[in-house]
């Protein structure tokens, strides 16, 4: 029986280049016309460089411009554009995090 | 460096060589990566602090960055940042703190590249020349300890003089049974042998929930080193945490060759590491 590999799992994956299992599960959708994308502002299709414009079919990746726009709008709302209280909470958390980081996290000296 | 790190943490389709193109022209820096594209959680992460998609995921233990802090560093050099990825097209400005966190839907100012995530930075005038100089000095060794990124193309169009194009790439051979990995870095064509050493944290500290750590040592292995009669170079080498961090004064580690050191964790005390390597 072979001896167990003492290398940590994350290192084995890195060494063997097998870290793309997520990508393997993804498939390319064909709901976008090649070479163009929809310009949200003008409503017209806009030519893009290259041969195609693949958008991968994945639950986390918006499959249309309108879905992406709605998501950005939701983030703006959540971030406090319409709610200063939420924003101040985020800002406070950011300042706390910055203060807690050790100096070695800053290649340039922390000021 | 931050954008290189982010590119290394991206997800890439299996059939693609992970590649990044950095294009500079006066006032602008553009980064194209052939990753699979932004998911909703990716967008939320760059709009937040302390909410990186890398935290808590299986990917987390393998990712270079965390905390969702890094992307915000672009506002140190840029006042406007445009991003296009898949169906997303939005921007941040550096006008107020809120504008750095809340994206605004915006048409990408330049022609996007098909199948790529593209970031466009409008640089502050006092950073313009510094960014151009840093790109000119970018060395292939920056790829040495990265996990995914195989190639960086650098295109510089200075305000005066001819444009400069460089291709930095690495070729990784599969590890053999000894745990050694061979890397070849272009364009310098310097081969490195990388040895990965796994160990238990001597101080019991956990980082990202793991007490196991890996230190990797890279030794230039070109044949001329073996036949050289000159004394080996004892120059200090950079310490890496995937990317070069700083020169801590490490020289040669029980070897005739200069070496690079990578710390896959911030946890091992430097004094301890120094003792190990002397």
Task: Determine, yes or no, domain membership for A63.
Answer: yes
Are residues B181 and A15, on separate chains, in Cβ contact within 8 Å? yes
User: Are A39 and A54 within one domain?
Assistant: yes
For residues B30-54, average pLDDT: 80
pLDDT, position A78: 79
Q: Which of B265, B26, B278, B46 is nearest to B128 (CA)?
A: B26
Residue B6, φ and ψ in degrees, nearest 5 = -60, -40
- Tell me the DSSP string of B22-77: EEEETTEEEEEE-SS---HHHHHHHTSSS--TTTTSGGGGG-S--TT-GGGGGGGT
Task: Determine, yes or no, domain membership for A2.
Answer: no
Are residues B36 and A23, on separate chains, in Cβ contact within 8 Å? yes
Are residues B212 and A104, on separate chains, in Cβ contact within 8 Å? no
User: Are A48 and A86 within one domain?
Assistant: no
Q: Please name the member of A51, A61, A93 whose beta carbon is closest to the beta carbon of B37.
A: A61
**Which residues have C-beta within 8 Å of that of residue B107, sequence separation ≥ 6?**
A39, A40, A41, B89
What DSSP element (H or E) covers A88?
helix A84-100
pLDDT, position B249: 62
User: Are A55 and A84 within one domain?
Assistant: no
Residue A1 C-alpha, separation from nearest chain B C-alpha, in angstroms = 16
Q: Flag whether pLDDT at A76 surpasses 80.
A: yes
| Chain A residues whose beta carbon lies within 8 Å of the beta carbon of residue B102 | 75-76, 79-81, 87
Are residues B115 and A104, on separate chains, in Cβ contact within 8 Å? no
Are residues B111 and A87, on separate chains, in Cβ contact within 8 Å? no
Residue B72 C-alpha, separation from nearest chain A C-alpha, in angstroms = 11
| Chain B residues whose beta carbon lies within 8 Å of the beta carbon of residue A23 | 11-14, 36
User: Are A85 and A103 within one domain?
Assistant: yes
Name the residue ranges covered by the structural domains of chain B: 2-169, 173-277
Are residues B115 and A50, on separate chains, in Cβ contact within 8 Å? yes
CATH class label, B2-169: alpha beta
Q: How far apart are CA B104 and CA A70, in angstroms?
A: 11
Q: Which of B140, B108, B138 is nearest to B122 (CA)?
A: B108
| Chain B residues whose beta carbon lies within 8 Å of the beta carbon of residue A37 | 87, 112
pLDDT, position A52: 44
Task: Determine, yes or no, domain membership for A70.
Answer: yes
Tell me the range of A36-45, A55-64, B114-123, B180-189 where mean pLDDT is highest: B114-123
Q: How far apart are CA B51 and CA B68, in angstroms?
A: 5
Q: Please name the member of A10, A40, A87 whose beta carbon is closest to the beta carbon of B61.
A: A10
Task: Determine, yes or no, domain membership for A19.
Answer: no
Tell me the residues of chain B between 82 and 111 that have a Cβ less than 8 Å away from chain A: 86-90, 97-98, 101-105, 107, 111
ipTM computed for the complex: 0.70
Asked whether the beta carbons of B197 and B178 are under 8 A apart, the reply is no
pLDDT, mean over chain B: 72
Residue B62 C-alpha, separation from nearest chain A C-alpha, in angstroms = 6
Task: Determine, yes or no, domain membership for A22.
Answer: no
Tell me the residues of chain B between 118 and 137 that have a Cβ less than 8 Å away from chain A: none
The pTM of this model reads 0.66
**Which residues have C-beta within 8 Å of that of residue A4, sequence separation ≥ 6?**
none
| Chain B residues whose beta carbon lies within 8 Å of the beta carbon of residue A105 | 266
pLDDT tens-digit map of B172-212 = 776 665 556 666 667 767 777 777 777 665 555 544 455 56
| Chain A residues whose beta carbon lies within 8 Å of the beta carbon of residue B62 | 10, 13-14, 19
- Tell me chain B's radius of gyration from C-alpha atoms: 20
Give me the number of domains chain A comprises: 2
User: Are A69 and A84 within one domain?
Assistant: no
Q: How far apart are CA B132 and CA B246, in angstroms?
A: 21
Are residues A20 and B103, on separate chains, in Cβ contact within 8 Å? no
Are residues A90 and B113, on separate chains, in Cβ contact within 8 Å? no
pLDDT, position B186: 73
Q: Which of B233, B237, B225 is nearest to B261 (CA)?
A: B237
pLDDT tens-digit map of B134-151 = 888 887 877 877 778 888
Residue B35, φ and ψ in degrees, nearest 5 = -75, 175
User: Are A65 and A48 within one domain?
Assistant: yes
User: Are A64 and A85 within one domain?
Assistant: no
Are residues A10 and B115, on separate chains, in Cβ contact within 8 Å? no
Q: Which domain holds residue A98?
A: 80-111
Residue B30, φ and ψ in degrees, nearest 5 = -120, 135
Task: Determine, yes or no, domain membership for A52.
Answer: yes
Residue A37, φ and ψ in degrees, nearest 5 = -140, 160
| Chain A residues whose beta carbon lies within 8 Å of the beta carbon of residue B179 | 7, 15
Q: Flag whether pLDDT at B232 surpasses 50.
A: no
Q: How far apart are CA B126 and CA B131, in angstroms?
A: 10
Q: Any CB–CB contact under 8 A between B113 and chain A? A: yes
Task: Determine, yes or no, domain membership for A16.
Answer: no
pLDDT tens-digit map of A81-103 = 656 666 666 676 777 777 778 87
Beta strands at B238-241 and B260-263: parallel, antiparallel or unpaired: parallel
Which of the pair, B167 or B269, is modelled with greater confidence? B167
């Amino acid at each position: 029986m072979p001896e167990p590999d003492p290398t940590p799992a994350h290192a084995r994956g890195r060494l063997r280049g097998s870290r793309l299992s997520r990508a393997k599960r993804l498939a390319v959708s064909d709901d976008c016309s090649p070479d163009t994308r929809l310009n949200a502002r003008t409503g017209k299709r806009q030519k893009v460089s290259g041969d195609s414009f693949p958008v991968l079919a994945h639950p986390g990746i918006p499959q249309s411009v309108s879905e992406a726009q709605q998501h950005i709008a939701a983030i703006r709302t959540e971030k406090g554009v319409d709610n200063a209280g939420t924003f101040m909470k985020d800002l406070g958390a950011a300042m706390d995090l910055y203060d807690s980081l050790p100096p070695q996290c800053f290649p340039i000296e922390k000021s | 460096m931050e954008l290189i790190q982010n590119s290394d943490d991206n997800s890439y389709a299996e059939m693609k060589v992970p590649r990044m193109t950095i294009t500079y022209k006066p006032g602008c820096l553009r980064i194209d990566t052939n990753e699979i594209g932004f998911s909703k959680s990716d967008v939320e992460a760059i709009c937040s602090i302390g909410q990186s998609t890398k935290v808590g995921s299986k990917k987390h233990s393998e990712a270079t960055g965390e905390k969702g802090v890094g992307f915000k560093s672009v506002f140190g050099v840029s006042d406007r940042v445009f991003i296009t990825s898949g169906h997303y097209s939005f921007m941040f400005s550096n006008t107020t703190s809120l504008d750095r966190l809340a994206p605004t839907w915006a048409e990408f100012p330049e022609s996007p590249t098909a199948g790529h995530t593209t970031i466009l930075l409008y640089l502050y005038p006092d950073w313009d020349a510094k960014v151009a100089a840093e790109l000119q000095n970018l060395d292939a060794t920056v790829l040495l300890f990265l996990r995914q990124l195989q190639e960086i193309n650098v295109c510089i169009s200075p305000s005066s003089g001819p444009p400069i194009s460089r291709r930095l790439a690495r070729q990784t051979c599969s590890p053999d049974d000894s745990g050694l990995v061979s890397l070849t870095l272009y364009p310098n064509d310097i081969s490195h042998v990388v040895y990965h050493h796994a160990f238990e944290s001597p101080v019991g500290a956990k980082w990202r929930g793991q007490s196991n750590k890996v230190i990797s040592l890279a030794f230039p292995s070109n044949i001329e080193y073996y036949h050289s009669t000159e004394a080996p170079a004892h120059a200090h080498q950079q310490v890496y945490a995937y990317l070069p961090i700083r020169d801590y004064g490490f020289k040669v580690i029980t070897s005739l060759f200069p070496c690079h050191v990578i710390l896959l964790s911030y946890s091992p005390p430097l004094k301890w590491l120094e003792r190990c390597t002397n």
